[in-house]
A and B are shown apart, each in its own frame.
Chain A
Amino acid sequence: MGFVNYRGRVIIVNSSPAPGTPMIEVSGITKAFGSTKALTGVSLTVERGTVLGLLGPNGAGKTTLVRILATLMHPDSGTARINGIDVLAEPQRARGLIGLAGQYAAVDELLTGRENLEMVGRLYGLSRTDSAARANETLERLTLTEAADRPVKTYSGGMRRRLDLGASLVGRPIVLILDEPTTGLDPRTRSELWQFITDLVAQGTTVLLTTQYLEEADVLADRIVVLDRGGIIAEGTADELKAKQGGDVVDVKPVDPDNIPRIAELLSDIAGQPQIDVRTGRVLVPVGDLRGVDVLTTVARMISDSGIELDDLAIRRPSLDDVFLALTGHAAEQTDGGTGATDEETAPSTKRASRRSKRTERAA
């Protein structure tokens, strides 16, 4: 038992913390699958009681990093520590500290919600009575008490995800690793889960969260690390990342998306370098040090002179989406990453497909 002062509140942490050291410390991690470099030297730290959002498109290396931290995979080089414990040298001790909730609900469909949680509790080393009590308490927190004694196959997608999260909480982990916890969920269920994660953090849990949803990182994460092609390309708070973008943006949306390259060309000398967002069919002009209104009127005049018909023209604060686009610069992959919900939903087969591709890569 230890006490940690977190944001003015004194909370109890059910493990002996080593004050001063970060809760998660990753240093120089590399991992390659055959000729594909999944991670190219990633280092990051997560302070106690905070949320780190790991943001990146599909294939950026997020899941690889999560699997290494969760002791499911060995890196080629580098170190990873959780609460000072070397994950590679003492995986069994590290497992006692972490809770992992996957991209998809890794719960047993034929077991009831309660049976799933009690099983995980027992495997965390709890006694039968303790695991039953813990399961009850977790079901209640996740408002699954009513469905507790029904087989999971009768649950909705959101209920399954809650149960999956619940399974990662039964052992009262001090570190929660969430791999795309809300991918494929409807907005209402998503915000419920967000609230739940926020509550956990308020009670002192440290969270590492991967996501393709920029909004999710914006809402939940104290700090954000942007991962692309196996390396970190930016990090900071959401506000810091937005500030890097250079103030407001003028957002131009033509009626005919074919005009996008022409617009980008046309507006290239007004203010910042225009960025094309293929997914939403927009051109974004960063205002930089100029006055937003001036840039907006200039853009309006030039577009109107060119005769291109516009659907929308606005000046706004940059979103994390804009930041991401500016950082990664490759819109095609952003399309994959940004919409994600479609292909990640069918996770078991996706997973197998990725295993298959790993194997072919190795064979190659």
Chain B
Amino acid sequence: MSTGISRMVTDSIVVTKRNLIRMRRLPEAIFFNSVQPVMFVLLFRYVFGGAINTGGEYVNFLIPGILVQTSLFGGAGTAIGLNEDMGKGIIDRFRSLPMARSAVLTGRILADVARNVFVVLLMLAVGTAVGFRFNNGFFPAIAAIAVLLLFGMAFSWMFALVGLSVKTAESAQIASFLPVFPLTFAASTFVPLDSMPGWLQVFARNQPVSHAVNAVRKLTQGSAVQGINLAAEVWLTLAWSGGITIVFATLAIRKYRKVD
């Protein structure tokens, strides 16, 4: 059995390496993926931000939300990449090899985590340029980044299932944004929840993106933000990430394994 596990690890690393080489050779993909969140930062910082009252510096409220949104949106790359591999026959090649069956998916997702590290650092740089500051010290900041990466990875499994289920890369893109839009906008990402109508607050308060945003906000700002129970938000984010990973990793791997 240990050979099975070591095969799984080796094969996942081999596939991760392949995906990282692809990213390095196609830098414009990361560039254009980063343009959108930068636009969001500028739009909310300078256009809408003045009208949103959060009771503190809006930029410090905004950037944690942007970071969570960016980690989620990046997962669409998982869906598109897997779908393209299917269309080009690369997945057929992998399936015909005596390799660990889960490695194609784990390799894809690990590469996306690596890309998310890059994108999160980039957005932090952009955020700093427009006035964002860490106000809670070094280690909570590192913890915030870890929460972001874990949360993004959980959603990557959902995107993997999307990518394996749709027929074209275009529909993979659209199908990925469908769940991400309501989750990131009906949340505490850009505006305080109590500005929303009551029925929407019920949803927004209890869905995973709000928990992740709250956790990152509190971890980066500390006592500068009020009314967030740090421990509860972090545990809820971890629980959601774990739950999403278990459900969607199971479904995605089953989908990948299924020979029809």
**Partner-B contacts on A (CB < 8 A):** 70-74, 92-93, 95-96, 98, 100, 102-108, 110-111, 115, 119-120, 122-125, 151, 167, 171, 347-348, 351-352, 355-356, 359
CA A167 to CA B90, docked complex, whole Å: 11
Question: Would A102 and B18 count as touching, CB distance under 8 A?
Answer: no
Q: Are B96 and A352 in contact (CB under 8 A)?
A: no
Contact of B96 among A71, A103, A104, A107 (CB under 8 A): A71
- B residues 162-179 near A (Cβ < 8 Å) are 167-168
9 smallest CB-CB distances across A and B, nearest first, come from: A106-B89, A95-B98, A123-B99, A96-B98, A106-B93, A100-B96, A110-B25, A122-B14, A123-B97
* Interface pair A92/B96, CB less than 8 Å apart: no
- In the bound complex, residues from chain B placing their C-beta under 8 Å from that of A103 are 89
- B interface, size bucket: 20 to 34
Query: Are the C-beta atoms of B98 and A110 separated by less than 8 Å?
Result: no
Which residues of B, 96-118, contact A by the 8 Å Cβ criterion?
96-99, 103
User: B90 contacts A73, CB within 8 Å?
Assistant: no
On whether the beta carbons of A106 and B98 are closer than 8 Å, the reply is no
Q: Which B residues are in CB contact (< 8 Å) with A122? A: 10-11, 14
Contacts of B90 in A (CB 8 A): 106-108
Residues of B contacting A104 in the complex (Cβ-Cβ under 8 angstroms): 88-89
Q: List residues of chain B with CB under 8 Å of any chain A CB.
A: 7, 10-11, 14-15, 17-18, 21-22, 25-26, 87-90, 92-99, 103, 167-168, 259-260
State the Cβ distance, B256 to closest chain A Cβ, in Å. 12
Contact of B7 among A95, A102, A125, A171 (CB under 8 A): A125
With a cutoff of 8 Å between Cβ atoms, the chain A residues found around residue B25 in the complex are: 110, 151
**Chain A residues within 8 Å of B96, by CB:** 70-72, 95, 98, 100
Q: Which residues on the A side are within 8 Å of B14 (C-beta)?
A: 119, 122-123
B75–chain A nearest beta-carbon distance, Å: 20
**Nearest-CB distance from B164 to chain A (Å)?**
12
Whether the pair A352, B87 counts as a contact (CB closer than 8 A) is yes
- Residues of B contacting A352 in the complex (Cβ-Cβ under 8 angstroms): 87, 167-168
CB of A110 within 8 A of CB of B167, answer no
> Which residues of A lie under 8 Å from residue B97 when comparing CB positions?
95, 120, 123-124, 171
How far in angstroms is the closest Cβ of chain A from B138? Answer: 37
* A119-B18 in contact (CB<8A): yes
B-chain residues with CB within 8 Å of residue A72 when the two chains form the complex? 92, 95-96, 259
